[in-house]
Amino acid sequence: MEGIRHNGPFSHLQVTSNVLKFSTDPILKTTVALGIEYDGTSFHGWQIQKKPAVATVQEALEHALTKVAACPVKVLCAGRTDTGVHATDQVVHFHCETPRSEVAWIRGVNTHLPGSVAVKWAVGVDDSFHARFSATARTYRYVIYNSPVRSPVMHKKLTWINQPLDEGVMHRAAQHLLGENDFSSYRGGGCQSNTPFRFMEKIRVVREGDLIIAEITANAFLLHMVRNIMGVLIEIGLGNRPEDWSALVLAEKDRTKAAKTASPDGLYLVKAHYPAEFGLPERSLGPSFLPAAFKTRI
């Protein structure tokens, strides 16, 4: 049966399919890297927690991988996200002696995952690859819905701020955090990192209609670091604090001097950066509901 041709206002556009065909050839390398997307709303973060027993992304993924591999599989990730935080391209790796194809590691594993988690890509990598330690940087995006009325459809996908925010002053305030700094003031309680120093490569804050998107890239992040930064920038954007308050908070090296931690709802891990030698696929940045212009770095 032939397809129906529409002669509407968009009939001049050429539509092409983006359906991917996955290979059925076995991946012979014993170290496999996966790209994972998940809605963190129903999970208590990434990492498996023994006490109390709660749902985590790692537990769901390892259970599904074990089903397909027919042997126990343990994964390591690029960045451990907190409760309620989402990811569009979390990278994990694991070792498995059982040869499985790309289609098995993607579609096969996805059949055993809840609808809020999916494997997006799979590739065999050199045994020297490590999802965490091979990464040179991570990029997060924080998406704010700045509107007088909340969006029920995007509940838990965006952070809703009903008062007007000045994204320009937020962007300028964020530039005070660039470079290598002691981020103790932006570090969550209970952080187990041996050092509070991190190198902040880039922070940009832009507006697209009612959406404000902050994109933050650093070599690594402390516990709650992005959300604590956003808490400060939101206060500045609301006009409750001066533009240089972000720098003053940084200089204090004291968490109690900063703003409250921002909601996890609008936070997405969108990219882990690796040397090209590992051959990981390049994917457009998420989340997918953002306009096309945001598929690359802003």
CATH code of residue 159: 3.30.70.660
* Residue 181, in any domain of the structure: yes
Shared domain for 102 and 159, answered yes or no, is no
The set of catalytic residues is: 82
Shared domain for 158 and 254, answered yes or no, is yes
**What confidence score (pLDDT) does residue 19 get?**
53
Query: Helix, strand or coil for residue 226?
Result: helix
**What confidence score (pLDDT) does residue 20 get?**
61
* Contact indicator for 146, 211 with CB cutoff of 8 Å: yes
Shared domain for 128 and 175, answered yes or no, is no
Q: What residues of the chain score a pLDDT lower than 70?
A: 1-20
**What confidence score (pLDDT) does residue 12 get?**
44
**What confidence score (pLDDT) does residue 100 get?**
94
Q: Which residue type, as a one-letter code, is found at position 117?
A: V
List the one residue out of 47, 75, 202 whose CA is nearest residue 140.
202
* Residue 114, in any domain of the structure: yes
Binding residues: 140
Write out the two tokens for 180. 């290598």
* Residue 252, in any domain of the structure: yes
Residue 165 structural domain: 137-268
Alpha carbon distance 223, 265 (integer Å): 16
Strands 26-27 and 117-125: unpaired
**φ, ψ for residue 263, nearest 5 deg:** -60, 145
Shared domain for 200 and 258, answered yes or no, is yes
Instruction: Please work out, in degrees rounded to the nearest 5, the angle formed at the alpha carbon of residue 295 by the alpha carbons of 201 and 180.
Output: 5
Indicate the residue among 134, 150, 180 that finishes a domain: 134
Alpha carbon distance 91, 71 (integer Å): 21
Shared domain for 127 and 175, answered yes or no, is no
Residues 190-203: tens digit of each pLDDT: 898 999 999 999 99
Binding residues for substrate: 140
Q: Which residue type, as a one-letter code, is found at position 91?
A: V
Indicate the residue among 86, 107, 134 that finishes a domain: 134
- What are residue 119's DSSP bridge partners? 36
The number of domains in the chain is 2
**φ, ψ for residue 223, nearest 5 deg:** -55, 125
